[in-house]
């Protein structure tokens, strides 16, 4: 798992420089960008993207692309060929990550023009990867011994370290998405603290009530659920809205990794869909509620009028649902095709003996 994640990061950042950035952010149509920035041509140290150096923006966005592809690994952990992971990542990055990121974040993108709000990646990163992970878990089948043998984390101490690193690292993603050291970055920063704290408490309390005791794994999972859910909302909602989003996400994602997981019947090893997919959906939908100025949010900026426009919660919820639905269907279809291509060419699953080893 570690070498898969590490190598995916290296692979996708390289592809980002060659064609990913161009097809995502270099003008274009409603679904894809253009080839204008292929091989990053035309970018110099003096070129700006908004108010920041374009090289900084390219580098920042490369980490989003890479970590989204790496996130999927958790769902099919411990049973997939290394070559299969790499080929799937190339196909999925090209035909799922790039178009969804363009649709949501590029000024020419269909969902951006439709008004869907996603500050730092609720749809682009978490729903996108969560659905791909769920598809992967179905296509690959369950781990050998799943349901009969106990699959517990080998070190809850390292789980705690990882969750803590995520919480700190997430400030870079969320506050950094303001693309400047300004008040919006401050809002995203504080919301990332409050929502995550609320979700940790929510998951812990719900687990305590349902199972009779809290757990370290539950607290860590609750924190990740809060981080995921606040991601699309962090620059749009007020701190109290962030706390409510966190409280909801902690409880709903606990159901996502227990009740929903049983209903779906897929062996999503590290609950990529249960936490990231479900948390992303919760956060994206609630963004449409708590962006309301009446609930402490920033309202929605009207780029035509160059000011915050009149807020219509019903219309905003429709836009949010379009974003969520598009990410689910698009990623689902691309993932099925990509996994099938890999299975038919180099194969997906390792032999049982290798899996046990």
CA distance 232 to 228: 8
Residue 315 has pLDDT above 80, yes or no: yes
Residue 78 has pLDDT above 80, yes or no: yes
Task: Check residue 232 and give its pLDDT.
Answer: 98
Question: Residues 185-233: pLDDT tens digits?
Answer: 999 999 999 999 999 999 999 999 999 999 999 999 999 999 999 999 9
More confident of the two residues 27 and 325: 325
Question: Three-state SS for 302?
Answer: strand
Nearest to 192 by CA among 130, 151, 237: 237
Average pLDDT of the segment spanning 281-290: 98
Average pLDDT of the segment spanning 313-341: 98
Average pLDDT of the segment spanning 90-101: 98
Question: Residues 24-43: pLDDT tens digits?
Answer: 999 999 999 999 999 999 99
pTM, rounded to two decimals: 0.97
Task: Check residue 79 and give its pLDDT.
Answer: 95
- Compute the CA torsion angle 349, 352, 356, 357 (nearest 10 deg): -80
Task: Report the run of H or E that residue 86 belongs to, with start and end.
Answer: helix 82-92
Residue 303 has pLDDT above 80, yes or no: no
CA distance 18 to 14: 6
Task: Check residue 305 and give its pLDDT.
Answer: 78
**Cα 297 to Cα 63, 235, 335, 346, 355, distances in angstroms:** 28, 9, 35, 49, 49
Question: Residues 136-160: pLDDT tens digits?
Answer: 999 999 999 998 888 877 899 999 9
Quick one: angle between helices 183-211 and 216-230, nearest 10? Answer: 140
Burial string for 47-77 (b: 16+ CB within 10 Å, else e) reads eebeeebbbebbebbbbbbbbbbbbbbbbbb
H helices of 177-272, where?
A: 183-211, 216-230, 239-257, 259-264
CA distance 279 to 215: 20
Average pLDDT of the segment spanning 301-306: 79
Average pLDDT of the segment spanning 69-76: 97
Q: Is the dihedral of CA 31, 34, 38, 42 positive or negative?
A: negative
| pLDDT, averaged across the chain | 96
CA distance 149 to 340: 29
């Amino acid at each position: 798992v570690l070498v898969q994640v590490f190598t995916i990061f290296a692979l996708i950042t390289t592809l980002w420089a060659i064609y990913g950035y161009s097809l995502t952010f270099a003008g274009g149509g409603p679904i894809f960008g253009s080839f204008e920035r292929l091989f990053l041509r035309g970018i110099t140290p003096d070129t700006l993207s908004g108010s920041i150096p374009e090289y900084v923006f390219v580098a920042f966005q490369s980490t989003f692309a890479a970590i989204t592809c790496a996130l999927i690994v958790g769902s099919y952990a411990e049973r997939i060929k290394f070559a299969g992971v790499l080929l799937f990542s190339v196909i999925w990055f090209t035909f799922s990550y790039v178009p969804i990121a363009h649709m949501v974040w590029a000024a020419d993108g269909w969902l951006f023009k439709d008004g869907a709000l996603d500050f730092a990646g609720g749809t682009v990163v978490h729903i996108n990867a969560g659905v791909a992970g769920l598809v992967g878990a179905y296509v690959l089948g369950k781990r050998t011994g799943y349901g009969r043998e106990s699959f517990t984390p080998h070190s809850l101490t390292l789980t705690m370290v990882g969750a803590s690193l995520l919480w700190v690292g997430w400030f870079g993603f969320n506050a950094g998405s303001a693309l400047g050291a300004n008040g919006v970055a401050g809002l995203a920063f504080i919301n990332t603290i409050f929502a995550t704290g609320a979700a940790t408490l929510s998951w812990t309390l719900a687990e305590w009530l349902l199972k009779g005791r809290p757990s370290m794994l539950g607290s860590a999972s609750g924190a990740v659920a809060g981080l995921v859910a606040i991601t699309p909302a962090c620059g749009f909602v007020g701190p109290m809205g962030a706390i409510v989003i966190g409280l909801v996400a902690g409880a709903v994602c606990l159901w996502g990794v227990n009740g929903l997981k049983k209903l779906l019947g897929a062996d999503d090893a590290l609950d990529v869909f249960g936490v990231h997919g479900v948390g992303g959906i919760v956060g994206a939908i609630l963004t449409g509620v708590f962006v309301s100025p009446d609930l402490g949010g920033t309202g929605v900026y009207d780029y035509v009028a160059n000011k915050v426009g009149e807020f219509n919660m019903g219309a905003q919820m429709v836009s949010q649902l379009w974003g969520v639905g598009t990410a689910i269907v698009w990623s689902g279809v691309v993932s099925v095709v990509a996994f099938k291509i890999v299975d038919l060419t180099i194969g997906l699953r390792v032999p049982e003996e290798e899996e046990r080893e």
